[in-house]
């Protein structure tokens, strides 16, 4: 048995366990508080801002940053870029946990969470974008669980079940790409209903396209960040193939991110022209828009390109983190800062400390689950009994 | 933002005209960016 498989070298109680333990404990307190006292005492949400930090960050950023799953599986299984195969399992795991946490966060955010299944029973059908998002997210989460199940089956040594999943992996990949295309763009389409509430620089008829294209950037960048973190902190779990292929993944994804980012910036500029919003660029919100567009999208595109050309792996890693921050800034701008932009200063929403606390709890929960899976299952290494069979 | 358009036609003529120019520039930019990105691939 290999070191990776036996879990040799697993650390005992350390700072990671203590800090995450305290955060999780605090999260349990917040959970009890949320479900006994309701949203009112816990959040700063209001009639003007029914969607706050939990939607802006936990949901919009969570879904965008989980796009690495469909991007990587599409690259490997549909486009046949097998050199990125080592990134598939970590990316699918991150995506699955990302969507799982999105659903968990939604149970906190929805006033009456027991009504979460309502869209499938009581809804406006195809005229409701929210219904489409709910349906897509549910099916995609099930698809990701099915995709990831091959790893769990290898871990549990259930060869027959694993081979059944492997037979339909291409179908699952295609389904994942279709569903992701639909709901990543639909999350942007949710804001089409509020043209009078959103600042014109962020509101656009093309906002679904912006959301979809930027999610590809988020997915590519997140895979780079996540693989770099895994290599830094979970290296003992990586086998030689993952070590060797790491540079190819980082440079290849960095190059792809550079071009998609350039395309995204071009689309945004085109959007300015179509809506004739040039005049807003010289206002305060225009400054924020330019910081987002040039500082967090155009500049990373250039740096990605330079780093990929010169094969500077370290620079690609940091630029990926930069791009991830850009995506987070964009989603926060769309959902919170540019939303209700014309309200007076006192009426603006700022999340309460318990809202921040719960978001930190959700992110920590994700980290703990990721670590649990990676330390036990063949995510960063090939299972010795199934090498070359996938 | 702009208040110098008196008719919808004025607005569309201006914004679509600008959009076509931007589209042309975007195509040239993306082509150049692609060349810059892939220039050293065969080295």
How far is the C-alpha of A315 from the C-alpha of A313, rounded, in Å?
Answer: 5
> Are A276 and B15 in contact (CB < 8 Å)?
yes
If you measure CA to CA, which chain A residue comes closest to B36?
A305
Q: Which of A237-251, A280-294, B17-31 has the lowest mean pLDDT?
A: A237-251
pLDDT in tens, A151-184: 999 999 888 999 999 899 889 999 999 999 999 9
- Alpha helices by DSSP H, listed for A193-239, are 207-233
> Are A276 and B14 in contact (CB < 8 Å)?
yes
> Are B37 and A309 in contact (CB < 8 Å)?
yes
Per-residue confidence (pLDDT) for residue B43, from 0 to 100: 57
The partner residue sitting opposite A273, judged by closest CB among B19, B34, B39, is: B19
Q: What is the DSSP string of B1-43?
A: ------SHHHHHHHHHHHHHHHHHHHHHHHHHHHHHHHTTTT-
Per-residue confidence (pLDDT) for residue A1, from 0 to 100: 46
**Which DSSP letter does residue A384 get?**
T
How far is the C-alpha of A162 from the C-alpha of A155, rounded, in Å?
Answer: 10
Position with higher pLDDT, A105 vs A7: A105
Q: What is the predicted ipTM?
A: 0.89
Per-residue confidence (pLDDT) for residue B19, from 0 to 100: 94
Q: How near does any CA of chain A get to the CA of B21, in Å? A: 9
- Give me the sign of the Cα torsion angle A332, A215, A369, A120: positive
- Alpha helices by DSSP H, listed for chain A, are 3-6, 15-37, 39-42, 53, 62-65, 68-73, 88-109, 129-155, 159-167, 169-189, 207-233, 240-275, 284-290, 299-309, 313-332, 353-376
Per-residue confidence (pLDDT) for residue A293, from 0 to 100: 96
The partner residue sitting opposite B30, judged by closest CB among A266, A273, A276, is: A266
Scan residues 5-34 of B and list those with Cβ closer than 8 Å to A: 11, 14-16, 18-19, 21-23, 26, 29-30, 33-34
pLDDT in tens, A48-92: 899 999 999 999 999 999 999 999 999 998 999 988 999 999 999
The partner residue sitting opposite A270, judged by closest CB among B23, B39, B40, is: B23
If you measure CA to CA, which chain B residue comes closest to A201?
B1
> Are A279 and B1 in contact (CB < 8 Å)?
yes
If you measure CA to CA, which chain A residue comes closest to B14?
A276
**Which DSSP letter does residue A156 get?**
T
> Are B37 and A259 in contact (CB < 8 Å)?
yes
Average pLDDT over chain A reads 90
The band of A36, judged by pLDDT with boundaries at 50, 70 and 90, is very high
Q: Which of A146-155, A285-294, A333-342, B34-43 has the lowest mean pLDDT?
A: B34-43
Residue A8 has pLDDT above 60, yes or no: no
B2 contact residues in A (CB cutoff 8 A): 276, 279
The partner residue sitting opposite B34, judged by closest CB among A259, A270, A280, is: A259
């Amino acid at each position: 048995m290999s070191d990776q498989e036996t879990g040799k070298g697993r650390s005992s109680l350390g700072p990671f366990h203590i800090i995450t333990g305290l955060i999780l404990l605090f999260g349990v307190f917040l959970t009890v508080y949320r479900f006994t006292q309701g949203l009112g005492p816990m959040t700063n949400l209001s009639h003007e801002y029914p969607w706050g930090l939990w939607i802006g960050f936990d949901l919009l950023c969570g879904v965008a940053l989980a796009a690495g799953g469909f991007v990587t599986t599409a690259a490997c299984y549909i486009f046949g870029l097998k050199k990125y195969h080592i990134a598939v399992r970590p990316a699918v795991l991150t995506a699955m946990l990302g969507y799982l946490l999105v659903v968990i966060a939604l149970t906190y955010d929805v006033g009456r969470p027991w009504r979460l299944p309502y869209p499938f029973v009581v809804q406006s059908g195809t005229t409701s974008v929210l219904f489409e998002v709910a349906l897509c997210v549910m099916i995609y989460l099930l698809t990701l669980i099915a995709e990831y199940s091959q790893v769990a089956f290898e871990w549990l040594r259930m060869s027959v079940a694993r081979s059944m999943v492997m037979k339909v992996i291409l179908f699952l990949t295609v389904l994942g790409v279709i569903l992701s295309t639909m709901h990543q763009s639909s999350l942007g389409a949710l804001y089409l209903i509020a043209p009078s509430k959103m600042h014109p620089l962020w509101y656009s008829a093309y906002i679904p396209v912006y959301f979809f294209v930027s999610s590809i950037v988020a997915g590519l960048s997140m895979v780079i960040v996540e693989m770099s973190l895994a290599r830094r902190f979970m290296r003992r779990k990586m086998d030689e193939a993952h070590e060797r292929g790491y540079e190819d993944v980082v440079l290849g994804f960095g190059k792809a991110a550079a071009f998609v980012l350039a395309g995204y910036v071009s689309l945004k500029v085109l959007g300015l022209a179509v809506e004739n919003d040039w005049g807003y660029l010289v206002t305060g919100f225009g400054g924020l828009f330019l910081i987002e567009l040039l500082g967090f999208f155009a500049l990373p595109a250039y740096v990605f390109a330079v780093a990929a050309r010169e094969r500077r792996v370290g620079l690609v890693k940091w630029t990926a983190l930069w791009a991830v921050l850009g995506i987070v800034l964009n989603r926060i701008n769309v959902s919170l800062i540019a939303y209700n932009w014309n309200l007076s200063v006192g009426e603006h929403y700022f999340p309460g400390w318990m809202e921040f606390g719960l978001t930190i709890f959700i992110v920590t929960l994700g980290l703990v689950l990721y670590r649990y899976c990676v330390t036990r299952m063949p995510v960063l290494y090939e299972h010795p009994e199934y090498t070359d069979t996938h | 933002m702009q208040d110098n358009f008196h008719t919808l036609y004025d607005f569309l003529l201006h914004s679509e005209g600008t959009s076509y120019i931007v589209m042309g520039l975007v195509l040239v930019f993306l082509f150049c960016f692609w060349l810059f990105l892939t220039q050293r691939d065969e080295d």
